[in-house]
Structure 1
Amino acid sequence: MLTVLRNSWALLFGISLLMLGNGIQGTLLGVRGEIEGFSTGAMSIVMSGYFAGFLLGSQAVPGMIRRVGHVRVFAALGSIASAGLILYPVLVDPISWTLLRVTLGFCFCGVYIVAESWLNNTTTNETRGRALSLYLIAQMVGIVAAQGVFALGDPSDFHLFIIVSVLVSLAFGPILLSATPVPPFGTTKPMSLVTLYKVSPLGVVGIFILGAVFAAMFGMAGVYGAIAELTTAQIALFVSAIYTGGMLLQYPIGWLSDTMDRRQLVVAGAVLGILACILGYSGFAGFYGLLAAAFLMGGVANPLYGLLLAYTNDYLDPDDMASASARLLFINGLGAIGGPLITGWLMGAIGPGGFFAFVGLLMLALGLYALWRMTRRAAHVSDEQASYVAMAPSAVTPVTMTNMVDEWEDQMSQDSEESAPAA
């Protein structure tokens, strides 16, 4: 672990700063939009813009890197992102904010891809898992810390937007000054959606549903807090609870998933998610009940993403994992675009409780579909399952997926060697 920190501390520090700035931005816009008098429907479109941009970036940025190189792409997208962040209080209208969100989603996707490429180049097969874990921890620390910074500021003025822009600009310094040369960005052989669905229907449908869940939770949490008339500090705690739950429950759920039929755990996670949404919708136990609901929602949703990826890889050959992961990333992005739109419509129709209603309905759909799939296919033999890899789906890029695939391939190779009879 110390070796990984010594080789990658600057990258990890830079990523924490990036997530700190991006985390403030997501919550700040939801609250500021309410202050500016934007309708719930308008804010849902604004928040969806980030996920549309992120999806476009995941498809376009690898080609940009191959044409002009990592450093130029990183510097260009970083500069555009920093400039975009400071324009929000200047261009105060839903159309401008939507265009800025699309631009920022595209830029942040590219920035993550480049940073993760450098991180990947500093690791070996033996240290990749620890590096990925530290990378995810750095992400979560940045996002949770962002809510504390947000709580200290006034969302009605421009100072928080300046702070966000400065933090993102500062993040590039340690990454650019310490990054080692990176190999060319590779491509994977294509896999059609039809083929992937035949391999794992639950994986495809589940990842699509979770894309909408994540976008609703992470894109609309600030909007929910503003509509529900929570204070700035309460909104910060509410958003923090979602991310903290995802960070703390990743590993126990991941450990369980390697010892049992993953579909049973998907159903159990969906049930817990539904109960959390009922708690949040009912308002039982006041604000503390709201925090508990947020913690449990994030705590089951984040691990479910890695769980469904591992389940899909159970039925894939190692050579097909990278292309399948790229397709799943695209499917998740499609679901993410619609998440804030439908959440915003429901919140406009039935009030702030629409936030929990939408997530609860998605969890219900996921649980029912997983139950139905259990009647269509026998359980996978646990000894042959690919190992669960913890991850934060709020910032998944093709490089993260590649790292995860490498982890699965290494684990499968080790398992094969251990199970082979002695000569």
Structure 2
Amino acid sequence: MGQILSSAWALFLGLMLLMVGNGLQGTLLGVRGEIEGFSTFQMSVVMSAYFAGFLGGSRMAPEMIRRVGHVRVFAALASLISAVLILYPALAHPVAWALGRVVIGFCFSGVYVTAESWINNAADNENRGKALSLYMIVQMTGIVSAQGLLLVADPSGYVLFVIPSVLVSISFAPILLSISPTPAFDTAKPLAIKELLELSPLGCMGMFLLGGVFAAQFGMAAVYGGEVGLTLPQISLFVASFYLGALLLQYPLGWISDRMDRRVLIMLVAAGAGVGACVAMVFGMRFEILLASAFVIGGTSNPLYSLLVAYTNDFLEPDDMAAASGGLVFINGVGAIMGPLITGWVMQVSGPQGYFLIIAVLMLALAAYAAYRMTQRPPVAAEDTTAYTPVMASATPVALEVALEYAIDSANEEEDAQNESN
């Protein structure tokens, strides 16, 4: 880990600043929207717009990079992000915010594609797994740290919008000024969705449902906090709890998944998230229970993303895994676009507790479908499964391809070791 950090510290520092900026703007808009008097459904449209832009960016950014190169794409997109962040308080209207979120989602997706390809270039077969782990830790740490910045100024003013703009503006300085060479760039053509559905119905359905859950966490948590009357420090802790859970439970669940039928673990983890959401829905008026529920939901839903990717790969040939990653990201992105819209509509109809109602329904539906799929297909033997690799639910196809490359390398090394021992 130290070797990776010493050789690519500028890249990870830039990514940390990007994640702080992104994490702060998402929560800040939820709080500021309440101050501006936007309705819950209007805010759900604003939050959904980010994921629409992100999905479009993940599909268009590779071609942009091939045409003009990593450096120009990175600098141009980061500059656009910085500009839009400054415009939010000046154009306090739901339509303007939604358009801004589309642009920001598109730009962040392109920036992540660029940065993730740099990470892959900085790593080799021996330390690629550690590089991915460090990338995920940096992402989580940046988002959690961002919630603390929410308390440094009044959210009804301009300062909190200036902070993420400045952070994003300076984030690409250490990356672009580092001595890391510009990597070659190529991505696999996505596998057809129909073919992917036939190969792994649970993987596809799970990614779709999980997209809605993740989008609700990332986009609507602050909106929920404002509607139930949480103070600004409480909203900050509430949002941070989702990501702390994801960071702390990712690796234990991954270790378990390599040693048992992954469908059983998917069912249990999804059911745990559903129960956590039900507890918050009933007892969420007690803040400590609300924090514990957020920790459980974040700590189960985020690792589920990596679990579903690993489970899908169990039914793929190594040559098809990279192609499948694009399809999985697309399915997850469609769910993420719909998640805030449905959540906002339910919250407007049934009240703030509709936030946890949607999460509970989606996660319990995933648990039930995993249980059903166990009756339709025999389990894959633990020794025949692909390695679990932790990946954030906001990953682009590039990050997934890097993770899959690591899983394939690990499998090949284990096979070579077994052949030598025999």
Q: Which of the five TM-score ranges fits, normalised by the shorter chain?
A: over 0.9
* Aligned pairs (5 A) from 1:4-403: 4-283=4-283, 286-393=286-393, 395-403=394-402
Structure 2 Cα separation of the partners of residues 111 and 326 of structure 1: 17
Is the Cα–Cα contact under 8 Å of residues 273 and 301 in structure 1 kept in the other structure? yes
Structure 2 Cα separation of the partners of residues 16 and 421 of structure 1: 42
Structure 1 Cα separation of the partners of residues 140 and 210 of structure 2: 19
* CA shift for structure 1 position 398: 1.9
- Residues 419 and 357 of structure 1, relative CA distance in 2, 3 Å threshold: same
AA in 1 matched with 2:396: T
| SS class of match (1:254) | helix
Partner of 1:2: 2
Structure 2 Cα separation of the partners of residues 9 and 400 of structure 1: 18
1:170-190 Cα distance to aligned partner (Å, 9 max, x none): 111111100522233213144
Structure 2 Cα separation of the partners of residues 177 and 241 of structure 1: 34
AA in 2 matched with 1:409: I
1:133-172 Cα distance to aligned partner (Å, 9 max, x none): 1111111111000001112321111110001100111111
Structure 2 Cα separation of the partners of residues 384 and 259 of structure 1: 10
Structure 2 Cα separation of the partners of residues 325 and 116 of structure 1: 14
* CA shift for structure 1 position 421: 5.9
AA in 1 matched with 2:399: T
1:305-353 Cα distance to aligned partner (Å, 9 max, x none): 1001000001111000000011100110000000000000011011110
| SS class of match (1:215) | helix
* Alignment partner of 1:412 is 2:411: yes
Is the Cα–Cα contact under 8 Å of residues 118 and 179 in structure 1 kept in the other structure? no
AA in 2 matched with 1:172: F
Structure 2 Cα separation of the partners of residues 415 and 351 of structure 1: 52
Structure 1 Cα separation of the partners of residues 372 and 4 of structure 2: 43
* CA shift for structure 1 position 283: 2.2
Structure 2 Cα separation of the partners of residues 37 and 127 of structure 1: 49
| SS class of match (1:389) | coil
Structure 1 Cα separation of the partners of residues 261 and 415 of structure 2: 20
Q: Please identify runs of 4+ aligned residues in structure 1 that moved more than 4 A.
A: none
* CA shift for structure 1 position 422: 5.3
Is the Cα–Cα contact under 8 Å of residues 66 and 184 in structure 1 kept in the other structure? no
Structure 1-normalised TM-score? Answer: 0.98
Is the Cα–Cα contact under 8 Å of residues 276 and 297 in structure 1 kept in the other structure? yes
AA in 2 matched with 1:53: G
Is the Cα–Cα contact under 8 Å of residues 190 and 325 in structure 2 kept in the other structure? no
Structure 2: runs of 5 or more not aligned: none
Structure 1: runs of 5 or more not aligned: none
Structure 2 Cα separation of the partners of residues 170 and 383 of structure 1: 46
Structure 1 Cα separation of the partners of residues 285 and 224 of structure 2: 18
* CA shift for structure 1 position 402: 1.4
* CA shift for structure 1 position 3: 1.0
1:88-114 Cα distance to aligned partner (Å, 9 max, x none): 000110000000000000001111111
Structure 2 Cα separation of the partners of residues 113 and 302 of structure 1: 20
Structure 1 Cα separation of the partners of residues 410 and 264 of structure 2: 23
| SS class of match (1:152) | coil
AA in 1 matched with 2:411: M
| SS class of match (2:230) | coil
Structure 2 Cα separation of the partners of residues 333 and 189 of structure 1: 17
Structure 1 Cα separation of the partners of residues 130 and 253 of structure 2: 18
Structure 2 Cα separation of the partners of residues 46 and 163 of structure 1: 21
* CA shift for structure 1 position 281: 0.5
Is the Cα–Cα contact under 8 Å of residues 189 and 326 in structure 2 kept in the other structure? no
AA in 2 matched with 1:407: Y
1:244-285 Cα distance to aligned partner (Å, 9 max, x none): 000000011111100000010111111111111111111257
1:361-388 Cα distance to aligned partner (Å, 9 max, x none): 0011101110110000001100011111
AA in 2 matched with 1:33: G
Is the Cα–Cα contact under 8 Å of residues 117 and 182 in structure 1 kept in the other structure? no
| SS class of match (1:38) | coil
Structure 1 Cα separation of the partners of residues 277 and 397 of structure 2: 31
Is the Cα–Cα contact under 8 Å of residues 11 and 179 in structure 1 kept in the other structure? no
* CA shift for structure 1 position 55: 0.1
| SS class of match (2:391) | coil
Structure 2 Cα separation of the partners of residues 182 and 129 of structure 1: 21
* CA shift for structure 1 position 122: 1.2
AA in 2 matched with 1:281: M
1:208-260 Cα distance to aligned partner (Å, 9 max, x none): 11011100111100111111110000000000000000000001111110000
Structure 2 Cα separation of the partners of residues 124 and 234 of structure 1: 42
| SS class of match (2:182) | coil
Q: How many residue pairs were aligned? A: 422
